[in-house]
Every structure is written in C-alpha cells, then in structure tokens.
C-alpha cells in the first residue's frame, strides 16, 4: 500500500459501472481502505472485491445517504452520470453534483476526484457541456476537485469500444457523417485507471482541471481501419455523407450495435467536436506519466480483443442500470390497486446431475441462444430496438457464468443463488414489469426444473399485451424447457464418458 493511503478512507461512487468497478478492484489491490455507494448492495455481491470494501446502500440524490457515505472519507471519486435520464439529464447531473459537493464539504472530505470529458471546442455537445458543468458544480465548495478529462476510452466492454467493434465488424462499406474525420485522442482503460489510482494517493489536495489522453491523435475513421486490420478484416470503405445528423447516426448505431440509441446519441454528439488533450491542461506536474509508457491505439485494441477472446471482461458499459431509462419506465399497477401478476409456469424432471442442469440454465442467452425458437427471440429483440429498447445485441459479459447485476441481452440478473435459482428482470420496452425465473430442486434420485415467466401488467394495455403474446408463449416456453433438459442430459452423458 502506498504510504500516502495509510489511514485514508476512499469513497467510490458508480462502483457498479464500467470504470468504477475496475477502479474499486485496483484500489483494493493497492490495499486501500475503500467504501462504495450503491443503490442496491446485492448488485455487487458477486464482485470478487465485495468482501473487501465497506458497502453503503443508498441513492446519490438523497442528502442523508450522501452524508452516510461521505462520513470520514478523505478522497471521494465521483463517477456518476445521468445521460440516460431524458432530455433534461444535464439539470439532473448538475443538481446531483452540487448536492455531492455540499455533503462532501459538510463531512470534511479533503479531495474529490472527478472523471469528465475533454471539451476544448466552443461548439460542444449537450453531453460534454453537462460534463463540464458537473465539474464546476463539484468545485463550487471549499473541497479541492481534481477533474480528469478524458476522450474516448478504449477497453474491453466500454461503450465506445463496443460501437467501434460492431460497426467495423458488420459494415465493410459504411456511409458515415463527416465527423468521422474529426481528430480524437483516445486513452486505454489501463492508462485511465493509472491516473485515477494515483489520484487516490496525492501528497496534498489538488484543485485543477487536467486533460488525460493517450500517445496518439487520430480520426475516428483511422481507429476503425486499425480495428479492421487487427481483427483480420479487409480495409473498410468509409463514405462520408454530410446529411447524416447525430440523431440519424445514433438511430443507425442503435440498430447495428449493442449500444442502445439513448446511449449512442450523447456519444455520437461528443464526436462532433474534436477531442484532443490541451497541453496547457497537462497533468504531468501532478501525476507523472505511466512508467511503462502509454499504450498506443493498436495496443489498446489488441488488449481489449484479447480480453474478450479470453472471456476476461471485468466490467461492461451495460453493467450500470438506468432505472428511469426509456425501456424501464413501465411499471406494474400500484400495490394499493391490487397488483396483478400473470404467470407461465412449467416443471420438468430429469435424471441429469444438478451441475449439468445448472450449467444449461446459467449459460442461457447471448450467443448461446434460448434453446429453440431463436427466430422469435430475434424478432422480439428487433421489436424492442425499434421502440428504443436494448434488444438482444447487448449479449453477455461471460458466455458461461453470470453474477447479480449482469446484463443479459434485454434481461438483468436480479437474483442468483448459484446451482439453485436464477431470476432475470426484463429491461425491454413493456407495458409492465416482467421476469424469467429458473429453479432447480434436487430430489435425490432426480432433479425438478421449474421455469416461470411472470408479468405484472400496467392497466388494460398491459393485460392485452400478455394475452396477445400468449400464443407465442405456448410455443416458446415449452420448447425452451424441453431443450434445456436435453442440453443438461447431453452434458451429463458427455461428462460420464470422460
């Protein structure tokens, strides 16, 4: 442990997100005393570092929760954003940051560290303008704020990387907006985390805005060509079309890549401005560059691809849930109205081992599919995309294992009791709330598998939706159960032959 960290309590917000989850892991590795603030402690229960941190369950918009989280903290990392919360997300971000700053001052916090975005162009997007304003609100009290501004972060699982990867893989010929020629200075996730880790052990508090960028300045189009080359693909044909607006571009990205339109739009709008680190805002005087040097773009892409190939993606852009995002706004009828729950429950017995049954259950979705009727699942995912949802392309973090909080296509792992129970919550566009649950009951001589789809409709529209899709359920769910059991039996048979 760095001697500067001795006796320091470090708070990380956004610990269930892409950068936050990795930062917590690294700080724990550095033997730091870490506390995290999360809305749902169960969501991080399966993280390898969960038992090594102090978890405060609360909401960053509630002052009393902020007071509890910030009490006794020396350095607080602010890694929160609200870009999926509608058109007025900038107002929400501003209020959140201001409340955080006030609470930090009240609790005697010595240092706030904030990861924002490079914005050195007057024609900046709403997203980048909000990022800048968030930094200003955090710095509005007496607590020093070190604002680290980064451009595109390249790493396995980042939203920017997923956009790049899927666009390049799926489109050998691309019609693109003219902004693909704009210059950007990407940074690898490893180098971004290096600066954040070092910020936790500063000798004295620092109040400054600093840009952090990698060693190369290039266009987004150049990055796509590098990705194609490293992926063994032919050179991509990129045809610039000036009429493609950010809105149209984000709709196209939402259709072609796993990144939903609601998240793609602020990312696309950020590319309209050139995102290059300003030498006048160098961080070198505060934190020296990485001793081993920066990873170049090709190295960062290669490392990210190897992590994906090795199934070693620690966090993903989809890890963070946005409870008021468009596809999650629908709720069931209120409890006082007598919430209705409609169910499709099926049971089947098998002599396959509990381990084989669970393996079949835990590997559902993503590239593994849904055990039959995959065409109907594809159509449901496509329909979800059309209406602004996440669809099926979000996939899985790992093809074989899950953890609470993982995104799985248009589901979210809500509950997981490994070997016994898996409960998935639907994050698709629906007139209500939906779950898909699997349970395994060991009877000694055989196993009972319980598969249940449940739906809490909102009003008459929700009820009509359930009965409209019921004919599809009659085909889809029995097929799923039957093929899941077959998969377990085949696995059991294969294991018995070893």
pLDDT of 286: 95
Lowest-confidence region among 11-15, 313-317, 460-464:
313-317
Residue that wins the pLDDT comparison between 480 and 270: 480
pLDDT at 5: 61
Residue-number span of the structural domain to which 412 is assigned: 326-496
- pLDDT tens across 56-76, in order? 999 988 999 999 999 999 999
Among 299, 319, 339, give the residue marking a domain's end.
Answer: 319
- Sorted by sequence, the CB contacts under 8 Å of residue 490 that are 6+ apart come out as none
**Quick check: 336 pLDDT over 50?**
no
Position 52 pLDDT exceeds 90 = yes
Q: Check whether residue 9 and residue 52 sit in a common domain.
A: yes
Do 242 and 119 fall within a single domain?
Answer: yes
- Express each pLDDT in 350-401 by its tens digit: 999 999 999 999 999 998 999 988 889 989 988 888 887 788 878 888 888 9
- pLDDT above 70 (res 258): yes
- Which residue from 419, 436, 415 is spatially nearest to 427, judged by alpha carbons? 436
Query: With bands split at pLDDT 50, 70 and 90, how would you rate the model's confidence at 323?
Result: very low
* 347 and 432 assigned to the same domain: yes
Q: Higher pLDDT residue, 404 or 23?
A: 23
Predicted local distance difference test score (pLDDT) of residue 271: 67
- Whether 239 has a pLDDT exceeding 70, the answer reads yes
DSSP assignment letter at 415:
E
Confidence of residue 327 (pLDDT cuts 50, 70, 90): very low
The residue from 319, 340, 360 where one domain ends is: 319
Residues 299 and 382 in one domain: no
* 378, two tokens: 């594809």
pLDDT (tens digit per residue) in 398-424 = 888 998 888 899 999 999 999 999 999
- Here the CATH number for the domain that contains residue 82 is 3.40.50.720
CA gap 386, 85 in Å, rounded: 19
Say yes or no to pLDDT of 121 above 70. Answer: no
In the predicted model, is pLDDT for residue 333 greater than 70? no
What's the mean per-residue pLDDT of the chain?
A: 85
What is the pLDDT at residue 398? 87
Do 311 and 398 lie in a common domain? Answer: no
The reply to whether 150 and 182 lie within a common domain is yes
pLDDT at 20 > cutoff 70: yes
- Residue 322's pLDDT band (cuts 50, 70, 90): very low
pLDDT over threshold 90, residue 212: yes
Calculate mean pLDDT across residues 439-447. 93
Quote the CA–CA distance of 428 and 410 in Å, as a whole number: 6
Please tell me the predicted confidence (pLDDT) of residue 122. 62
The reported pLDDT for the residue numbered 324 is 39
Question: Based on the domain organization, do 305 and 394 belong to the same domain?
Answer: no
Domain count, the chain: 2
pLDDT at 243 (0 to 100): 62
What pLDDT is stored for residue 355 in this prediction? 93
How does pLDDT run across 347-362, given as a tens digit for each residue?
Answer: 999 999 999 999 999 9
Mean pLDDT calculated for residue range 185-208: 95
Q: Environment class of residue 99 by beta-carbon count within 10 Å: exposed (0-12), middle (13-18) or buried (19+)?
A: middle
CB burial of 345-355 (b: ≥16 within 10 Å; e: otherwise) equals eeeeebebbbe
Contact 393, 257 (CB under 8 A): yes
pLDDT-derived band at 329 (thresholds 50, 70, 90) equals very low
Do 411 and 440 lie in a common domain? yes
pLDDT > 70 in the chain, percent:
85
Same domain, 28 and 160: yes
Q: Say if residue 326's pLDDT is above 50.
A: no
Is pTM beyond 0.95 here?
A: no
CATH number at residue 411: 3.30.530.20
Which of 271, 299, 319 delimits the end of a domain?
A: 319
Buried b (16+ CB within 10 A) or exposed e, 443-464: eeeebebebbbbbbbbeeebbe
Tokens of 401: 């294992």
Higher pLDDT, 235 or 115: 115
334, 314: one domain: no
In whole angstroms, what is the distance from residue 265 CA to residue 251 CA? 8
User: Does 484 lie in the same domain as 443?
Assistant: yes
Same domain assignment for residues 127 and 83: yes
């Amino acid at each position: 442990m760095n001697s500067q960290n001795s006796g320091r309590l470090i708070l990380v917000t956004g610990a269930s997100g892409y950068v936050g989850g990795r930062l917590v892991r690294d700080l724990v590795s550095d033997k730091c005393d870490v506390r995290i603030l999360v809305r749902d402690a169960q969501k991080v229960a399966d993280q390898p570092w969960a038992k090594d941190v102090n978890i405060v369950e609360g909401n960053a918009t509630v002052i009393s929760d902020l007071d509890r989280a910030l009490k006794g903290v020396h350095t607080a990392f602010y890694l929160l954003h609200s870009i999926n919360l509608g058109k007025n997300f900038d107002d929400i971000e501003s209020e959140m940051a201001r409340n955080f700053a006030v609470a930090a001052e009240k609790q005697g916090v010595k240092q706030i560290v904030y990861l924002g975005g490079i914005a050195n162009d007057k024609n900046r997007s709403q997203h980048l303008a909000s990022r800048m304003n968030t930094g200003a609100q955090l710095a509005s009290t007496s607590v020093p704020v070190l604002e680290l501004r980064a451009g595109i972060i390249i790493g396995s699982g980042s939203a920017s990387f997923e956009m790049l990867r899927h666009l390049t893989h799926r489109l050998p010929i691309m019609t693109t907006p003219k902004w693909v020629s704009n210059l950007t200075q990407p940074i690898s996730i490893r180098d971004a985390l290096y600066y954040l880790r070092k910020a936790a052990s500063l000798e004295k508090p620092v109040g400054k805005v600093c840009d952090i960028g990698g060693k190369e300045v290039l266009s987004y189009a150049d990055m796509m060509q590098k990705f194609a080359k490293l992926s063994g693909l032919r050179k991509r044909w990129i045809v610039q079309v000036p009429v493609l607006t950010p809105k149209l571009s984000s709709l196209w990205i939402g259709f072609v890549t796993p990144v939903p339109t609601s998240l793609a739009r602020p990312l696309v709008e950020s590319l309209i401005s050139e995102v290059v680190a300003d030498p006048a805002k160098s961080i070198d005087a505060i934190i020296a560059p990485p001793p081993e040097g920066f990873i170049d773009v090709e190295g960062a892409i290669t490392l990210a691809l190897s992590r994906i190939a090795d199934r070693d993606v620690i966090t993903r852009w989809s890890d963070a849930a946005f409870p008021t995002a468009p596809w999650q706004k629908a709720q069931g009828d209120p409890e006082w109205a007598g919430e209705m729950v409609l169910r499709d429950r099926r049971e089947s017995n098998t002599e396959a081992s509990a381990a084989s049954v669970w393996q079949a259950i835990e590997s559902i979705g993503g590239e593994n599919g849904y055990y039959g009727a995959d065409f109907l699942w594809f159509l449901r995912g496509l329909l979800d995309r059309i209406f602004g949802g996440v669809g099926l392309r979000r996939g899985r973090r790992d093809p074989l294992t899950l953890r609470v909080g993982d995104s799985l296509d248009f589901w979210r792992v809500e509950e997981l009791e490994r070997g016994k129970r898996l409960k998935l919550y639907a994050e698709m566009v629906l007139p209500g709330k939906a779950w898909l649950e699997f349970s395994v009951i060991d009877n000694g001589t055989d196993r009972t598998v319980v598969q249940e789809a449940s739906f809490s409709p909102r009003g008459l529209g929700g009820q009509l939706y359930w009965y409209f899709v019921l004919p599809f359920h009659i085909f889809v769910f029995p097929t799923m159960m039957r093929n899941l059991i077959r998969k377990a039996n085949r696995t059991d048979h294969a294991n018995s032959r070893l």
